Amino acid sequence: MRKRRRWWAVAASVLVAGTGGLWVVGGATAETTAVDAGEVGERIVARAVVVPKEGVAEVRSRTDGRVVKVLVREGQSVKAGDLLAEIEPESVENEVTRREAELDSLRGSAAAVAQGARPEELSAAEAELRATREELALAESRALREQRLADRGVSPSASADEAKRALGVARARVEAAEARVKLARAGGRKSDVTSANARVRAAKAAVSQAKQELNKTRVVAPIAGVVLSRRIDPGDVIAGSTAGVGAPAFEIADVANTELQMEVEEVDASRLVPGLAVRVTPPGRPETLGSGTVSRVGAQLQRRSIGAFDARERGEGWVRVGWIDARWEGDQGMPLGQRVEIIAELPPRKVTARVPRSAVRIRNGRATVDVATTLGFRETAVELGAADDAHVEVRGLPAGARVRTRR
């Protein structure tokens, strides 16, 4: 019994010793390096997308109706003012015709009021004035004669009095005729003319409004560019009264005048400044597509809209936006929406702990390194800082610790 126990004890010792030997051998044969202090060339790596400098014009219908014509397709170039589509205009055209007829009628009435009497009426009034003046001359002559006869006693005084009354009537007729001529020459009354002109102005406004409604049946390009999208077809019934709601009928942009819109993580937001030189590469690939300079920077952080390339960036939702004037290699240009990677090299800075890039592994959005121990390697989570092509700053490891660099 005692011999059996001693045998098991020896076997266990050998097994432990053998296993320990394997850990030591594994640790000895793996390539390791020490965590040390040094310089790390900092850089900003961000995602960017090609966008039009002047933005995208969203064209919507301004009136309700049925689409009768669509004159453009996606990818077609247009000039500002080009007709894109027409909405059934018949009812609005009839309204314009009616309003114009009303305006013509009111203009004629206003002209008649302002002019006053017609030429024929003025001639008649002037003829009447001449006749009354002749009557006045006769009445004056008769009154003078009758007065002389009465003074000599040849004629009764009653005849002289009657002649005087006839003279007064003749003078009153002349005054009335002169007033009629003056009125015919002067035109209508001021209040009538003002009222007539006001009706004409109201009719003009109504015509203008009707024409504006007619123009709303014509959907035109607000800018020169290329049609990015078209969402209406002939026969569609659209509701222009809900302007600003839902997808636009057309989207147009100037594709020849573009820039890059980049999103920088919150941790690097303060280092994004106008004038910063950048290099443009395909996502995750080293070749250079072009270069550029940051032209302007957003004033506040915002939610990510472009996305992220790796797990670390996906874990941070707030970004700062910057815009880049890009120069492409070979002047090949890039289509709108093309996604690229932006690399901005910053001056190197000293760090207290760094490891080779090959020592860091990203797993489930977490950075880890394998730290050497007497029994092998222990996977240890670390926080990453600045990084360049050779080294990465790490936090959470003491200087001098050895980490595995090749697996």
Kindly report the CATH number assigned to the domain that includes residue 286: 2.40.30.170
Examine the domain organization and report whether 105 and 79 are in the same domain.
no
5 occurs within a structural domain: no
Examine the domain organization and report whether 157 and 195 are in the same domain.
yes
Write out the residue range of the structural domain in which residue 68 sits.
59-88+219-253
- Round the CA-based radius of gyration of the chain to a whole number and report it: 50
CATH of the domain at 407: 2.40.420.20
d(CA 169, CA 303): 98
CATH of the domain at 245: 2.40.50.100
Q: Which of 11-20, 96-105, 228-237, 287-296 has the lowest mean pLDDT?
A: 11-20
Work out the pLDDT band at 7, boundaries 50, 70, 90: very low
Examine the domain organization and report whether 241 and 296 are in the same domain.
no
> Which amino acid is residue 380, in one-letter code?
T
> Which amino acid is residue 72, in one-letter code?
V
Examine the domain organization and report whether 110 and 191 are in the same domain.
yes
> What tokens were used for 23?
């850990």
Secondary structure (3-state) at 87 = strand
The pLDDT of residue 313:
45
> What tokens were used for 225?
């560019």
Q: Cβ of 333: how many Cβ atoms within 10 Å?
A: 13
226 occurs within a structural domain: yes
Q: Domain count of the chain? A: 4
Where among 211, 242, 277 does a domain terminate? 211
On average, the pLDDT of the chain sits at: 81
Work out the pLDDT band at 14, boundaries 50, 70, 90: very low
Region 15-39: mean pLDDT is: 61
Region 199-222: mean pLDDT is: 83
Examine the domain organization and report whether 31 and 131 are in the same domain.
no
Q: What is the dihedral of CA 294, 295, 301, 302, to 10 degrees?
A: -100
> What tokens were used for 356?
């080779």
Examine the domain organization and report whether 144 and 289 are in the same domain.
no
pLDDT digits (tens, 9 = 90+) for 343-384: 998 888 899 999 999 999 988 878 999 999 988 899 999 998
What is the 3 state secondary structure string of 93-109? Answer: HHHHHHHHHHHHHHHHH
Region 43-56: mean pLDDT is: 92
Residue 157 reports pLDDT greater than 90: no
More confident residue, 208 or 4: 208
Q: Which residue from 265, 261, 230, 266 is spatially nearest to 49, judged by alpha carbons? A: 261
d(CA 407, CA 390): 17
16 occurs within a structural domain: no
> What tokens were used for 138?
């006769």
Beta-sheet pairing, 391-395 with 349-356 = antiparallel
316 occurs within a structural domain: yes
Examine the domain organization and report whether 204 and 102 are in the same domain.
yes
Examine the domain organization and report whether 203 and 273 are in the same domain.
no
